[in-house]
Copies of this chain bind each other. A is one copy, B any other.
């Protein structure tokens, strides 16, 4: 259960780290959208391991194949099935995980829930699962861009305690992609990279914040009550591995202000309504108000570290475990396309829902 996301633009992901592969089925995509693997692969390349020396060195090209749902380069309106074969599988590297639960991973909870788990590379809990999301997200981003002129971006804004100042209204994709940590502020980026390298060298890991941005969302997307836009974004982000928090607009910092200080005044100009500040984060009452949507996602430090740690084995005896093999000191640079993908999936679903009821 729980492997499907969305109401009208609905994706179902499948696959384990080790096994036939990982993939996604996208149902509800509008017909006649130009779509080939070339639209998908760039985001998978931004997500894949081994793209720089500050992320996990797993060696996979993650080449996507579209198996259905398109015809002569256009979407059919039928399910789009996409998959990526698993290549760099080394079950032997994970043998200790067959008998020991990695601390702060999902080994123990999966075992307890299902009475079984694929311990090779984390199985379904592997970040490889996000390949399906990123592939589907690339489709969603294309629809948003082409149909609605909506631009989705994400970038790393903090590593541990080092924060970067970035203007979410102005930042460009080119600036973000200009360095390996995907932080558009060059000076800060250097510091963030240095901190990650430091962690890698210490056999340790670090977490931080990815900022998500959606510019150009028209007023009116989102549903009252449970399926508020920010509620669906929160769920989308907290469904990504290693996330611990989400806030939107003024977020956790906004509580320091009073109502008078916090409110966003409305102004009108030439029949267009806007707000002169944007503490609401582009959403009011669960519905987009036409301002830029921006939010933060907290990622904890990667759980696998190259040090001995206390844990328990499958016979429920105390033991220790030390991370071996591929060391991923920081998930943030690779999380950027994941945050973009989930943002796009939420927005395109709400675009269709809005269109259905109020269009």
CB distance from A57 to the nearest CB of B (A): 17
**In contact, B77 and A226 (Cβ under 8 angstroms):** no
Say yes or no for A8: interface residue by CB 8 A criterion: yes
Q: Which chain B positions have C-beta within 8 A of A62?
A: none
Q: Which chain B positions have C-beta within 8 A of A309?
A: 260, 263, 265
5 nearest A-B residue pairs (beta carbon): A106-B285, A2-B223, A245-B247, A20-B67, A2-B227
Interface residues on A, range: 35 or more
**In contact, B254 and A300 (Cβ under 8 angstroms):** yes
In the complex, the count of this chain's copies comes to 4
Pick the contact of A123 from B71, B158, B298, B304 — CB < 8 Å? B71
Q: A4-B27, A5-B226, A206-B259 are in contact. Are A124 and B76 (CB under 8 A)?
A: yes
Chain A to chain B contacts (Cβ below 8 Å), 13 pairs: A1-B227, A2-B226, A3-B224, A108-B289, A113-B358, A208-B255, A226-B239, A228-B239, A244-B250, A245-B248, A265-B311, A271-B316, A352-B357
Q: Which chain B positions have C-beta within 8 A of A112?
A: 219-220, 273, 287, 289-290
Say yes or no for A178: interface residue by CB 8 A criterion: no
**In contact, A246 and B238 (Cβ under 8 angstroms):** yes
Tell me the bound Cα distance from A293 to B270 in angstroms.
49
- In this complex, what residue of B is CB-closest to A290? B112
A28-36, A39-47, A168-176, A180-188: which lies at the B interface?
A: A28-36
Q: Which chain B positions have C-beta within 8 A of A289?
A: 108-109, 112
